[in-house]
């Protein structure tokens, strides 16, 4: 038995999914789009799985998420639709329900957040709703795990018992139930038109196994995807055109508005009958009060920056540093222990190095990201669950609109200044595929904290103390500026066309539940670890191999990055390409290559290749042989802009669900870095810098 879980964004869908499955889920994806399809067995129920579909408001042909959802429902024919609604905004949530009803599939409604509804003094008569709609309506509170058992019972009932027995008039596509009754969602002139079109195209729809009523309504709404699929004859098209014309004349409105109107009329009537509101909505009143401060004209932005500042300080400073150091010490201790073990076992030197320097160090460097990711997503899920993130989107929207994004992209980009990996992972909460893809492309231009190590060493070596801060700030600003320009270009090229209009709901403020926050962290950590032990691990091994062997595949020793290594050979071979950028030295180029494993590696590689003992020596003398202050700046500029580390690449691949896309993104980014550094360097040289 397969249940499709559908609902608006922000209605508690994921929470319900986690309650149903205990989060034992399998994540698949929909072909061609970056939308996740999570599927998991329902806890304690044999043969019952639930599929979590994207959060949507409607079933239009305009957004990838909506098309994916309706295609899934029509093509895969789940046994039951589980439509979850935020009962605190019932009217708007019921709109999707009326569309799902067109599909004529077994369905059940879960009214979520009923605890809040009760708290607000509102009474929803679910029995009355059941009577009027013709399917079960179960009040639940997903975050408190209330009503879930009853929900599962009613799902079984819905599937076991054909809809017909719930007074559904199946052979009449024009009615859902109660022919001519007050609560038929399809009424008046629209009803007549849908009815007529349904009869007209019945065979076409049956041929492609599309619910007849759905096909008829979509035809009426001028849905081109459905029209093309139905393959209507010219005569049929003419008749439909005629019917539409008649309808539009009769109602004095156009076809799309007519259908929407009819739906909302039905919803209003239904809510009038089943919902009794007493007193004021306490949560809304509280939200209004909090919003007076958090979205205040003057204070909103300082408050937001303050909150993010504290999060950064805790994540990358106090707690983060403590955890990362502890973690690193543990890993080092473990590597030391294995090292001793291998030495006493007297295995060959290269195998020893493969295990310690290649595998374990590789895993170790990746694991050092873990505390950052866990901490950041701890804070982020609190911001998201509490409802604050929607306010951030509201406040920051105007800034990002010019590059074709919405306020929702602001937080991922900001996190990019800390670490690109969680920043890319945070794009998952963006609502459209377009925004997700575009944000992952722009995040790497926000200079991450690992690059700070490189800036630190170079500015100390080449610039007087007074100029150092200026150089660093200029790098950050250039990164952002290039990101903005890139965004503008993308908006005009790859992501051309109208973005889906920005609509945002400001949900009531809620106390985040510990369970939901922990699950979210676990989700992200697991996601990251899986990648750490596959793609990132492999990449570390490749880099180790290139560092430790020469061209004839002779082992040249564990002290990596030596002159004769394959990596150095590649560096020497590629170096001339970088001469016009001001740093044709093979050691600089080799350092950039090892920097792909993690950016701070650039410094350690240079230390080894220049044969100096420490970073301090690098600063005091080593680097001066390779760069002038100006070419050092060019090197930093390239470091700032070129492709991100392997961990970020893996995250981009994961979030865009396309290796090709990720690879192309990295190539383009490196191309941009090359071009900009080239121009800066050549112009600079022209002026005698």
Partner 1 sequence: MTLDEIKVGETAKILKVNGQGALRKRLLDMGLTPKTLVTLQKLAPMGDPLEFTLRGYELTLRKADCAMVEVERL
Q: How far apart are the C-alpha atoms of 186 and 177, rounded to whole Å? A: 10
CB of 108 to partner 1, least distance (A): 23
CB of 407 to partner 1, least distance (A): 8
Least separation in angstroms between residue 68's CB and partner 1 is 16
Among 79, 261, 550, 563, binds partner 1 (CB under 8 A): 261
Which residues share a beta bridge with 80?
A: 3
Q: Is the distance from CB of 135 to CB of 111 less than 8 angstroms?
A: no
First to last CA, the chain: 71
- Largest Cα span, the chain: 92
For position 278 contacting partner 1 by CB under 8 A, the verdict is no
Q: Is 295 in the site for partner 1 (CB under 8 A)?
A: yes
- Cβ-contact 84, 13 below 8 angstroms: yes
Among 225, 239, 506, 574, binds partner 1 (CB under 8 A): 506
Q: Evaluate whether 438 touches 407 at the Cβ level (below 8 Å).
A: no
Judge residue 618's burial from the number of C-beta atoms within 10 Å of its C-beta, 0-12 exposed, 13-18 middle, 19 or more buried: buried
517 contacts 378 by C-beta, under 8 angstroms: yes
Using CB atoms within 10 Å of the CB of residue 602, give its burial: 0 to 12 exposed, 13 to 18 middle, 19+ buried. Answer: buried
The three-point CA angle 247-251-255 to 5° equals: 55
Least distance (Å) between residue 184 CB and partner 1: 19
Q: Which of 7, 55, 12 is nearest to 408 (CA)?
A: 55
* Minimum distance of partner 1 from residue 484's CB (angstroms): 17
Q: Which stretch binds partner 1 (CB under 8 A): 202-210, 294-302, 348-356, 674-682?
A: 294-302
Rule CB under 8 A: say whether 300 interacts with partner 1. yes
Counting contacts by CB under 8 A, is residue 228 touching partner 1? no
Task: Verify binding: residue 313, partner 1, rule CB under 8 A.
Answer: no
| Residue 675 CB neighbour total at 10 angstroms | 12
- The total of other beta-carbon atoms located within 10 Å of residue 171's CB is 7
Minimum CB distance to partner 1 smaller for 399 or for 530? 399
Is 236 a binding residue for partner 1 by CB under 8 A? The answer is no
Q: Which positions from 393 through 432 interact with partner 1, judged by CB under 8 A?
A: 394-395, 397-399, 401
Closer residue to partner 1, CB minimum distance, 87 or 137? 87
Contacts of partner 1 in 470-499 (CB under 8 A): 498
Least distance CB 238 / partner 1 (angstroms): 23
Q: Which one of 60-68, 189-197, 459-467, 473-481 is the stretch in contact with partner 1 (CB under 8 A)? A: 60-68
Residue closer to partner 1 (CB basis): 164 or 401: 401
Rounded distance, CA 519 to CA 534, Å?
A: 23
- In terms of CB distance, is 255 or 520 closer to partner 1? 255
β-strand pairing of 137-139 with 275-277: unpaired
User: Smallest distance from the beta carbon of 350 to partner 1, in angstroms?
Assistant: 59
Q: How many CB atoms lie within 10 A of CB 270?
A: 22
Closest distance of CB 62 from partner 1, Å: 4
User: Please, which residues have CB within 8 angstroms of residue 303's CB and are 6 or more apart in sequence?
Assistant: 293, 294, 296
* Lookup result for tokens 């109602």: 251
63 touching partner 1, by CB under 8 A:
yes
Q: Which is nearer to partner 1, 65 or 523 (CB)?
A: 65
What is the rounded distance in angstroms from the CA atom of residue 393 to the CA atom of residue 405?
A: 11
DSSP H or E run through 536: none
- Closest contact distance (angstroms) between CB of 301 and partner 1 is 6
Q: Which stretch binds partner 1 (CB under 8 A): 108-116, 184-192, 352-360, 390-398?
A: 390-398
- Residue 397 C-beta: closest distance to partner 1, Å: 5
Residues that bind partner 1 (CB under 8 A): 57-58, 60, 62-63, 89-92, 95, 253, 256-257, 260-261, 264, 291, 295-298, 300-301, 394-395, 397-399, 401, 498, 500-506
């Amino acid at each position: 038995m397969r249940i499709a879980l559908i609902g608006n964004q922000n209605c508690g869908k994921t929470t319900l999914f986690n309650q149903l499955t205990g989060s034992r889920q399998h994540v698949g994806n929909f072909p061609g789009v970056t939308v996740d399809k999570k599927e998991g067995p329902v806890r304690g129920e044999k043969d019952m799985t639930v599929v979590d579909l994207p959060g949507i408001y409607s079933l239009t042909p305009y957004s990838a998420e909506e098309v994916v959802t309706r295609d899934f429902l029509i093509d895969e024919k789940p046994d039951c639709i589980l439509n979850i609604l935020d009962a605190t905004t019932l009217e708007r949530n019921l709109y999707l329900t009326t569309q799902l009803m067109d599909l004529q599939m077994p369905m059940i409604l879960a009214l979520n957040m009923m605890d809040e509804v009760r708290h607000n003094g509102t009474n929803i008569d679910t029995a009355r709703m059941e009577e009027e709609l013709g399917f079960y309506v179960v009040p639940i509170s997903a975050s408190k795990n209330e009503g879930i058992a009853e929900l599962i019972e009613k799902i079984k009932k819905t599937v076991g018992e054909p809809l017909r027995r719930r007074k559904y008039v199946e052979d009449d596509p024009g009615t859902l139930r109660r022919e001519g009754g007050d609560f038929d969602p399809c009424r008046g002139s629209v009803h007549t038109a849908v009815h007529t079109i349904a009869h007209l195209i019945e065979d076409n729809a049956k041929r492609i196994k599309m619910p007849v009523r759905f096909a008829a309504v979509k035809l009426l709404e001028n849905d081109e995807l459905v029209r093309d699929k139905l393959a209507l004859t010219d005569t049929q098209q003419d008749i439909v055109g005629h019917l539409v014309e008649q309808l539009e004349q009769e109602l004095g409105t156009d076809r799309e508005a007519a259908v929407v109107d009819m739906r909302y009329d039905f919803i209003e009537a239904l809510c009038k009958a089943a919902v009794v509101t007493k007193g004021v909505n306490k949560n809304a009143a509280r939200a209004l009060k909090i919003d007076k401060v958090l979205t205040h004209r003057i204070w909103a932005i300082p408050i937001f920056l303050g909150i993010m500042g504290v999060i950064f300080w805790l994540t990358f400073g106090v707690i983060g540093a403590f955890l990362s150091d502890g973690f690193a010490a543990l890993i080092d201790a473990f590597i030391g222990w294995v090292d001793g073990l291998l030495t006493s076992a007297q295995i060959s030197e290269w195998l020893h190095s493969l295990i310690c320097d290649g595998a374990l160090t590789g895993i170790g460097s990746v694991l050092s990201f873990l505390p950052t990711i866990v901490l950041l997503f701890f804070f982020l899920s609190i911001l998201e669950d509490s409802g604050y993130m929607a306010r951030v989107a509201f406040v920051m929207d105007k800034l990002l609109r010019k590059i074709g994004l919405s306020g929702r992209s602001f937080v991922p980009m900001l996190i990019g200044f800390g670490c690109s990996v969680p920043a890319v992972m945070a794009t998952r909460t963006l609502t459209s595929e377009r925004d997700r893809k575009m944000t992952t492309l722009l995040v790497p231009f926000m200079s991450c904290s690992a690059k700070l190590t490189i800036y630190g060493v170079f500015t100390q070596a080449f610039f007087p103390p007074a100029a150092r801060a200026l150089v660093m700030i200029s790098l950050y600003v250039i990164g952002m500026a290039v990101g903005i320009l890139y965004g503008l270009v993308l908006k005009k090229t790859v992501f051309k066309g109208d973005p889906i209009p920005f609509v945002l709901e400001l949900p009531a403020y809620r106390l985040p539940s510990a369970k939901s926050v922990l699950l979210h962290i676990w989700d992200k950590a697991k996601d990251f670890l899986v990648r750490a032990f596959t793609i990132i691990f492999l990449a570390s091994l490749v880099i180790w191999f290139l560092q430790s062997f020469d061209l004839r595949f002779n082992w040249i020793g564990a002290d990596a990055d030596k002159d004769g290594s394959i990596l150095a050979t590649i560096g020497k071979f590629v170096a001339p390409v970088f001469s016009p950028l001001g740093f044709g030295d093979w050691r600089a180029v080799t350092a950039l290559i090892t920097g792909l494993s993690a950016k701070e590696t650039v410094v350690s590689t240079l230390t080894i290749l220049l044969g100096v003992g420490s970073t301090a020596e690098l600063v005091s003398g080593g680097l001066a042989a390779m760069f002038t202050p100006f070419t050092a700046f060019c090197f930093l500029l390239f470091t700032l802009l070129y492709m991100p580390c392997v961990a970020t690449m893996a995250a981009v691949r994961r979030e865009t669900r396309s290796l090709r896309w990720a690879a192309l993104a990295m190539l383009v980014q490196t191309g941009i870095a090359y071009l900009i550094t080239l121009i800066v360097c050549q112009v600079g040289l022209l002026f005698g810098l």
